[in-house]
Structure 1
C-alpha cells in the first residue's frame, strides 16, 4: 500500500505542473503482459528482472533468450549505413484510451490509427507507453524517459511481426503531448483503470526523423520477453519536464515507479546506425 503522504505528493506535482505551463507559455503484442502483479522492477526482489524467467514457464525467454532487449547502443559496436530511403510513417486521428496497467501508462487507439513501413512490410500502430528512466542506453548513458510506439503486421506469416519505435527523452522543457495527458494521468494514480480521452492524432506524440536511427533485432522488455522484435531507436532526443516524470512515476504502482529493465547482453548481434536527410513522414 502507498503511504498517506503520496496523495499530497501527487496533488503537489500536479499543481506545480499547471503552474509551470502557465509560466512557460507469432503475435508478440498479443502476448505482452497487460495487468500483472507477478513481476516487478525492484532490485533484489524475487519478482525482479533477474528472476522474471523463473516465475512462469512461458517467461523462460527472459532468462534464456539470446536476443533480449533493451541493450546499450554503443558507437563502438554499430555498423553505419547511409539512409537512402527514410522510414515511411502514416498517421490517422482516432479515438484513444489511456490505461494504467500498474507497471506503466499505456495509450491505445480504436481501429486503424497509422502504420510504419519497414523492409517493405507495413506494420499497424497498436499502442504507446512510457518507461522511466530510459530502457536503452547510448554509450552507457541512460536518459530520463523512453517512449515505445508498438506496431504489428496484420499478416501473421511475417517472421518479425512486431516493430517498436523507441524515443529517448532528457530533462528540459515539458513534452507537449504529455502535457495533454497529465490531468488524466493524475486522476489514475494507484488504480488499474482506463479513461477515454477522445480523438488523438498519433503524429503529435513524436516527429520521427525517418533517416537517423538505430536498428536491431531484440525482444519485448517485459514478460514474456518474446524475441523477434524489430527495434528502431530514434537518434533525435526529446525533452520532458521533471514534473511530468514525477507524475508518470506516481501514477503506477510502487514496484514500477522506475520501470526500466536492465540492459541485456548484445550476444554478437549487429546494431545498424542509419543516417541521412529528407525523412519521409506522411500525415493524414
Structure 2
C-alpha cells in the first residue's frame, strides 16, 4: 500500500492525472498559471517539464465540431463507479477528490483504467468552437502500466451542481499554509462519496489522444470530452477557487495546437434519431 504521505505529495504537484511520474513526486519546482511560472514557461522550469514546450500532442485543445470525425465504432463508454471513502484535497493548483480503494473503472479498447480521482479547472480548459465554459471536471483513470484516461465534463453557469453542493460545507475547511516554492497540501475527510456516473445517460462524446494539462505534460492520455454540458452556479465556482494559491485561482492551461491529430465523435442514437452534436450542445446537470 502506498503511504498516505506519498499520495499527498504526488497530488500536491498534480491533480490532473495519476501518472507514474506524478505519483513519484516531481516537486523540485513550483508552477502556476501567471507570470514567470505560467503555462508559457512551464517547459523552461525543469528538464522534467520539457514536453510542455516540445510536445506535439498536448492538451487541452479547441474542439471544432465541423472538423470532428464521426466514429460510431467507438461505442458507448464502458464504465462503472462505486461509493467509497473520499478525501477532499487542495494542492494549491486545484481542488480535487481522492478515493480510497476501488472507486471504479473505465474500459477503452479492451484496456482497463482504474478510477483514481477527480478535480476541477475554472474556467474550462477544453473549448468547443472557441467557446470556453465556466468550469471543467476531470475524472482521472489509470492503468497498471501508468497510462491515463480522463473523462472531461464541461459546465456552464446556471443551477448549482449536485456534486459540488455535497462538497460545499467542506471547502472552507481547506487551508493553505504556503503558496511559495514548496506548498503543502490541505485535505479534509468527506466520508462516503457516491461516484456512480454509470447511472447518468450518455449523450455522446469527443475522443482524442493528448497529454496531462499540467507539468510534466506527459503525452500518454486518452481524452473523452462529454458532449453534454452540465450546469454549475457562480457561487460554486467562487468556492472552488477560494482555497487556491493566488496565482492559480484561474487554473486553465491555454488550448494547444491540434497538429496532426483528429478529434473523433461518438453520437448516441435515441428512438431512431441521431443527436446532432456537431451543431448543438445538450444542456443538463449531473
In 2, the alpha carbon distance for the partners of 1:41 and 1:95 equals: 31
- Structure 2 CA distance for partners of 1:84 and 1:51, relative to 1, 3 Å: closer
Residue 263 in 1 paired to residue 255 in 2?
A: yes
Residue 53 in 1 paired to residue 43 in 2?
A: yes
For residues 93-104 of structure 1, the aligned pairs below 5 Å read 93-104=83-94
**CA contact 2:175–2:186 (8 Å) conserved in 1:** no
- The structure 2 residue matched to 1:64, chosen from 36, 54, 60, is 54
**CA contact 1:35–1:102 (8 Å) conserved in 2:** no
**CA contact 2:172–2:243 (8 Å) conserved in 1:** yes
Match of 1:38 in 2: 30
- The structure 2 residue matched to 1:78, chosen from 30, 54, 68, is 68
Residue 227 in 1 paired to residue 219 in 2?
A: yes
- The structure 1 residue matched to 2:108, chosen from 98, 118, 123, is 118
Shift of 1:93: 1.0
In 2, the alpha carbon distance for the partners of 1:79 and 1:185 equals: 40
Shift of 1:204: 5.7
Deviates more, 1:126-135 or 1:197-206: 197-206
In 2, the alpha carbon distance for the partners of 1:219 and 1:123 equals: 16
1:117-166 alpha-carbon deviations (Å, 9 max, x no partner): 11111111000000000000000000000000000112x2x8xx210000
Match of 2:188 in 1: 195
Match of 2:167 in 1: 181
1:173-205 alpha-carbon deviations (Å, 9 max, x no partner): 000110010111122143531111111121269
**CA contact 2:81–2:197 (8 Å) conserved in 1:** no
**CA contact 2:82–2:104 (8 Å) conserved in 1:** yes
Unaligned runs of 5+ in 2: 1-16, 178-184, 271-286
Shift of 1:47: 0.6
Match of 1:137 in 2: 127
- Structure 2 CA distance for partners of 1:219 and 1:137, relative to 1, 3 Å: same
TM-score calculated relative to the size of structure 2 = 0.81
Shift of 1:84: 7.0
- Structure 2 CA distance for partners of 1:275 and 1:226, relative to 1, 3 Å: same
Unaligned runs of 5+ in 1: 1-26, 279-284
In 2, the alpha carbon distance for the partners of 1:223 and 1:245 equals: 23
- The structure 2 residue matched to 1:171, chosen from 152, 157, 170, is 157
In 2, the alpha carbon distance for the partners of 1:84 and 1:225 equals: 26
TM-score calculated relative to the size of structure 1 = 0.81
- Structure 2 CA distance for partners of 1:123 and 1:204, relative to 1, 3 Å: closer
**CA contact 1:96–1:109 (8 Å) conserved in 2:** yes
Q: Helix, strand or coil: the match of 1:122?
A: strand
RMSD over aligned CA atoms reads: 2.1
Q: How many residue pairs end up in the alignment?
A: 245
